[in-house]
Amino acid sequence: MSGPATTPAAAAAALPPGATLGVMGGGQLGRMFVHAAQSLGYATAVLDADPASPAGLVAHRHVASAYLDEAGLAALAEASAAITTEFENVPAQALERLAARRPVAPAAAAVRVCQDRAAEKAHFRQAGVPCAPHALIASAEQLDAVPAGLLPGILKTAQLGYDGKGQVRVGDRAALAAAWDQLGRRPCVLEQRLALRAEISVVVARGADGAMVELPVQQNLHRDGILAVTQVPPPDVAPALQAEAVRSARALAGSLGYVGVLCVEFFVVDDGSADGALVANEMAPRPHNSGHHSLDACDVSQFELQVRTLAGLPLAAPRLHSPAVMLNLLGDLWFRGGDDAAVEPPWPAVLALPGVHLHLYGKAEARPGRKMGHLTVTAADAGTACAVAREAAARLGLPPF
């Protein structure tokens, strides 16, 4: 269900087209935000140290600067009427500095919670949202005190982990100790390994007035910790669990006082019941890879929602007009023949299929594991979308799903 409409007072304060919207980070999420902002008539400014960043190349202005560079932050604030972020690891203190001069959404306090797994888990509990059994490990004493019931588990760095980075599967105490050494004895969270039936995500948008809308629930398949396939509607998740996931995502956004687009990832775990049980995995304070299908399958994309929350525009509830399957395209595709030199994938063979939408991110160099683009397949029904997506995956040499 969608939230209440934006009030007239809030709408009157909306930034008009022609204003400049700033974004911290120049990756593909920033690029798609810039495109959405420009389609609504806004100018854009991007701060990123890479002179060839995907978002910087298409923005009206590119501030080539590190995230904490004072001159760069001042330049972005001077150019922008309001500022957002496209990368979860942008330093929260940079957002705090910007907020002293311009509206920033999401706020640094909310981003800081999402940047620390221990704080995130604590917030799940405070909001009444179940999460996996876990323990914080920041000292040798805490390592020794880990309950036996948490093993086997997954040891994750408390900060700066994404796309499977900073994570090690452990089966016993000896492996746990070795993994903590491997991760540099940094503060970590050990999560009990659960029997999973499915992984899903909810992308929710919340305005400054508290209005909330969300994309349809998405079912996700990960390989090596990186999202590989998203299916919408989710084929293997009961409607009651989907509704629970939406309620939980809304509760988390509300309890954070969040303004912007927030993705909450959930596990559907096998608890012996017919539908399984839902536990929260993690939050991303930005649009999410699993929401990319909304560019082609919904009448309002996650990136337009990000623009609307930042500019104070009304939030229209997105409608899924076409079932969809999204395939993540990593740099490995360019090296599928085993050669050292990159070879362009066979795009014509894929684009010959009906309902295929190719999005490449403008990155100059393909590297294994690097997100280079995505492919969305839309169709009149979910079965057809899945069949075409499987054929597209086969033509590209991607693993079957």
CATH number of the domain that residue 60 is part of: 3.40.50.20
Same domain for 276 and 315: yes
The answer to whether 202 touches 249, Cβ cutoff 8 Å, is: yes
Is residue 117 annotated as involved in ligand binding?
yes
Block means of pLDDT (10 residues each) for the chain, 401 residues, are 37 86 98 98 98 97 98 98 94 97 98 95 96 95 94 92 78 95 94 96 98 98 95 97 98 98 97 96 97 98 98 97 98 87 96 98 94 98 98 97 96
Domain limit, last residue, from 80, 114, 148: 114
Is 282 among the annotated ligand-binding positions?
yes
Domain boundary among 68, 86, 114: 114
Residue 6, amino acid: T
Distances (CA, A) of 134 to 146, 168, 268, 369: 9, 14, 17, 28
- Residue 97 in any domain: the answer is yes
316 shares a domain with 216: yes
* 366 and 292, same domain (yes or no): yes
Which pLDDT belongs to residue 189? 95
Q: What is the 3-state secondary structure (H, E, C) of the chain?
A: CCCCCCCHHHHHCCCCECEEEEEECCCHHHHHHHHHHHHCCCEEEEECCCCCCHHHHHCCEEECCCCCCHHHHHHHHHHCCEEEECCCCCCHHHHHHHHCCCCECCCHHHHHHHCCHHHHHHHHHHCCCCECCEEEECCHHHHHCCCHHHCCEEEEECCCCCCCCCEEEECCHHHHHHHHHHCCCCCEEEEECCCEEEEEEEEEEECCCCCEEECCCEEEEEECCEEEEEEECCCCCCHHHHHHHHHHHHHHHHHCCCCEEEEEEEEEECCCCCCCEEEEEEEECCCCHHHCCHHHHECCCHHHHHHHHHHCCCCCCCCECCCEEEEEEEHHHHHCCCCCCCCCCCHHHHHCCCCEEEEECCCCCCCCCCEEEEEEEECCCHHHHHHHHHHHHHHHCCCCC
Query: Is 1 domain-assigned?
Result: no
CATH of the domain at 267: 3.30.470.20
Does one domain contain both 174 and 200? no
Q: Are residues 110 and 225 in the same domain?
A: no
Asked whether residue 261 is assigned to any structural domain, the reply reads yes
**Structure confidence at residue 166 (pLDDT):** 83
The pLDDT of residue 11: 42
Residue 193 annotated as binding site: yes
Residue 248 lies in a domain: yes
In a domain, 401, yes or no: no
In a domain, 367, yes or no: yes
60 labeled binding residue: no
Domain total of the chain: 3
Q: Domain range for residue 211?
A: 196-396
Same domain (yes/no): 238, 155: no
Based on the fold, state whether residues 96 and 169 are members of the same structural domain.
no
Residue 312 counted as an annotated binding residue: no
Q: Is 395 annotated as a binding residue?
A: no
pLDDT computed for residue 163 by the predictor: 62
- Choosing from 192, 210, 225, the residue where a domain stops is 192
Has 161 been labeled as part of a binding site?
yes
What pLDDT does 336 receive?
Answer: 86
Q: 194: annotated binding-site residue?
A: yes
Asked if the structure places residue 128 within a domain, the reply is no
**244 in a known ligand binding site:** no
Is the domain of 238 the same as that of 345?
yes
222 is in an annotated binding site: yes
Same domain membership, residue 241 and residue 180: no
Could you tell me if 60 and 181 lie in one domain?
no
Both 241 and 388 in one domain: the answer is yes
Question: Is 219 within any annotated ligand binding site?
Answer: no
Is residue 340 a part of any domain in this protein?
yes
| Residues 250 and 164 both lie in one domain | no
